């Protein structure tokens, strides 16, 4: 296009030029000051000027402005003897700088490597036609033969190329490191013939970048739209022909191996089949260490068959369908827990549950969790009278107990380095549930953090299950101390910024 470019690199920027009132069929000026002045005055640039590009000799620092219009529209205007509308005119600014051809080519390849990948423009990528039905049929698809339970996976919130997501993932230095880790985890988990339901927020970026990323990932991707997904990119003609990504809408229900699954980018408050074993899989909330504020207590009150399949909640990998079956089967036995204020009439049942739990813990090498007075009738009556005692119900039957006491210091922890010691806090005590019941602490934490934002508690150094569950819920270990009876205890604290 331009002469004398042996040692020049071309940088092109597309600007708005709606202030132009007229434009010629061939347009160019080499003096930016002149063209800027003409634009300000609304004067047509280079109208009817025939320029021989071979006579333009550029040096480093030179700028060329080229007003441009869609060629098809320009031809129509030429025939009709009129000018384009202002909104249809764009101004391309070309800037040149001194650089060797080799350096220029290397920099261009690094920035726009996709332009040199011919495979992106080859024949269409093969996608099983039975999966393509999911874009054509909007009703519930209950039987899709290609959905082999051993080759189906779920994920969400990969956010490839999204720098904003790094605040949730401090272990990654930049988006390149994050992209590499997520793609590696994906391909180590999903076989090439696998099928991945991606529940939204796949990536951000232009079409070429999106195509390159999706082509790196194993399996066919069935995408449910997230709030950060650009459907113009993800449903484009080139995306359909050159990748195995199938857009299946904003929500979809499928049945796999007899399990009905409701899929949406967001968690539901209620949904059809929630009491009948229908799963609701979602993303959006980035469950994990980064979950703070209002999301944390709300998530703790999810129904038993709801699960966040986002990468932050699953080791930065897609979740196999078989693992979800295991998770949901364990939840099905201990579903629909609720919390209410404890009543005096609950005391006998609470003490029996505590006695059974103490016996089980003693048989497992942990006799130190509670002393003899922890669940005495007098202590429980004091909790209830003060409004601190809370009963856990399972299908309206007493299944556990805990106390949330405002401002109560834990004896022996006065010298420990509590986080923000000046801040108001609540102490969580006497957490007990039926020995065979799972999910008690999850329910307790959800209830507590929906009401308060700073919790302290202590547990025996021998109580490995409790230590593990505290770590899972991201409590901070404050330090060890000795109880009055000599038992070694560990203090924990968690603050949620709302």
| pTM across the whole model | 0.56
pLDDT for res 31: 41
Planar angle of CA 407, 409, 412, nearest 5 degrees: 170
Do 312 and 168 contact (CB within 8 A), yes or no? yes
Q: Can you give the pLDDT at residue 267?
A: 92
* Number of residues that this document lists for the chain: 498
pLDDT confidence of residue 148 = 86
pLDDT for position 83: 58
Average pLDDT over residues 83-110: 57
pLDDT greater at residue 360 or residue 48: 360
Residue 112: pLDDT over 80: no
Predicted confidence band at 452 (pLDDT cuts at 50, 70, 90)?
A: confident
Residue 119 pLDDT class (50, 70, 90 cuts) = very low
pLDDT value of residue 25: 28
215 pLDDT higher than 60: yes
Say if residue 269's pLDDT is above 80.
yes
Higher-pLDDT residue of 372 and 4 is: 372
Q: What is the mean pLDDT of residues 186-205?
A: 94
> What pLDDT, on a 0 to 100 scale, did the predictor assign at position 360?
86
Return d(Cα 324, Cα 307) in angstroms, integer. 9
- pLDDT at residue 144 tops 70: no
Instruction: Using alpha carbons, list the distances in angstroms from residue 269 to 218, 282, 301, 303, 432.
Output: 33, 12, 9, 8, 28
Between CA 19 and CA 40 the distance in angstroms is 7
Reference 456, options 415, 413, 393, 398; nearest CA is 413
CA–CA dist 247, 265 (Å, integer): 13
The predicted structure's pLDDT at residue 216: 92
Mean pLDDT over residues 357-380, rounded?
86
For 33-79, the pLDDT digits (tens) are 444 444 444 444 443 334 444 444 555 555 555 555 565 666 676 66
Q: What's residue 279's pLDDT? A: 93
Average pLDDT over residues 396-413: 91
Q: Which helix (H) or strand (E) holds 441?
A: helix 440-449
Does residue 97 carry a pLDDT above 70?
no
Domains in the chain: ranges and CATH: 8-111 (no CATH), 119-332 (3.60.21.10), 337-495 (3.40.630.30)
Q: Say what percent of the chain tops pLDDT 90.
A: 36
Least confident range from 61-75, 127-141, 340-354, 480-494: namely 61-75
Report how far apart, in Å, the C-alpha atoms of 15 and of each of 66, 111, 263, 482 are: 10, 20, 41, 70
Give pLDDT, residue 291. Answer: 57
Q: What is the 3-state secondary structure (H, E, C) of 173-198?
A: CCHHHHHHHHHHHHHHHCCCCCEEEE
| pLDDT at residue 348, rounded to an integer | 94
Window from 158-172, 220-234, 336-350, 441-455 with minimum mean pLDDT: 441-455
Mean pLDDT of all residues in 429-455: 83
Return mean pLDDT, the chain.
77
List pLDDT tens digits, range 295-323: 666 676 677 788 999 998 898 999 999 99
Strands (E), 343-450: 389-394, 397-406, 426-433
Between these two residues, 453 and 44, which has the higher pLDDT value? 453
Q: Euclidean distance between the first and final Cα of the chain, in Å?
A: 58
């Amino acid at each position: 296009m331009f002469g004398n470019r042996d040692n020049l690199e071309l940088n092109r920027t597309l600007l708005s030029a709606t202030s132009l009132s007229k434009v010629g069929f061939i347009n160019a000026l080499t003096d930016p000051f002149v063209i800027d002045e003409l634009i300000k005055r609304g004067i047509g640039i280079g109208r009817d000027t025939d320029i021989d590009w071979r006579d333009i000799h550029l040096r480093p620092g030179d700028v060329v402005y080229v007003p441009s219009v869609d060629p098809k529209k320009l031809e129509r205007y030429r025939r009709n003897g009129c000018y384009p509308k202002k909104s249809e005119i764009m101004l391309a600014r070309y800037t040149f700088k001194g650089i060797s051809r080799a350096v220029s080519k290397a920099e261009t390849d690094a920035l726009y490597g996709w332009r040199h990948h011919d495979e992106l423009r080859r024949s269409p990528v093969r996608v099983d036609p039975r999966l393509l039905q999911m874009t054509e049929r909007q009703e519930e698809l209950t039987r899709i033969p290609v959905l082999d339970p051993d080759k189906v996976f779920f994920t969400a919130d990969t956010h490839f190329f999204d720098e904003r997501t790094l605040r949730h993932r401090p272990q990654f230095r930049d988006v390149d490191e994050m992209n590499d880790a997520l793609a590696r985890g994906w391909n180590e988990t999903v076989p090439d013939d696998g099928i991945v339901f991606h529940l939204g927020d796949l990536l951000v970026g232009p079409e070429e970048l999106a195509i390159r990323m999706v082509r790196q990932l194993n399996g066919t991707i069935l995408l449910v739209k997230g709030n950060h997904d650009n459907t113009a990119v993800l449903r484009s003609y080139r995306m359909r022909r050159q990748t195995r990504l199938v857009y299946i809408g904003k929500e979809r229900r499928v049945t796999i191996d007899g399990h009905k699954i409701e899929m949406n980018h967001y968690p539901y408050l209620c949904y059809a089949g929630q009491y009948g074993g229908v799963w609701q899989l979602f993303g959006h909330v980035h469950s994990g260490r980064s979950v703070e504020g209002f999301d944390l207590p709300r998530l703790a009150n999810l129904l038993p068959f709801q699960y966040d399949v986002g990468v932050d909640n699953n080791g930065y990998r897609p979740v196999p369908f078989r693992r979800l079956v295991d998770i949901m089967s364990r939840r099905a036995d201990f579903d629909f827990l609720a919390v209410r204020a404890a009543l005096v009439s609950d005391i006998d049942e609470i003490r029996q549950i505590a006695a059974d739990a103490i016996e089980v813990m003693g048989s497992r090498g942990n006799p130190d969790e509670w002393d003899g007075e922890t669940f005495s009738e007098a202590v429980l009556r004091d909790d209830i009278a003060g409004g601190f005692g809370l009963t856990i119900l399972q299908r309206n039957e007493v299944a556990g107990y805990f106390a949330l006491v405002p401002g109560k210091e834990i004896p022996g922890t006065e010298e420990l380095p509590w986080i923000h010691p000046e801040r108001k806090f609540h102490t969580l005590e006497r957490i007990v549930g039926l020995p065979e019941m799972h999910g008690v602490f999850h329910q307790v934490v959800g209830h507590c953090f929906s009401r308060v934002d700073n919790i302290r508690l202590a547990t025996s150094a021998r109580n490995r299950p409790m230590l593990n569950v505290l770590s899972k819920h991201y409590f901070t270990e404050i330090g060890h101390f000795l109880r009055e009876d000599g038992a070694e205890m560990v203090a924990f604290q968690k603050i949620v910024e709302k």
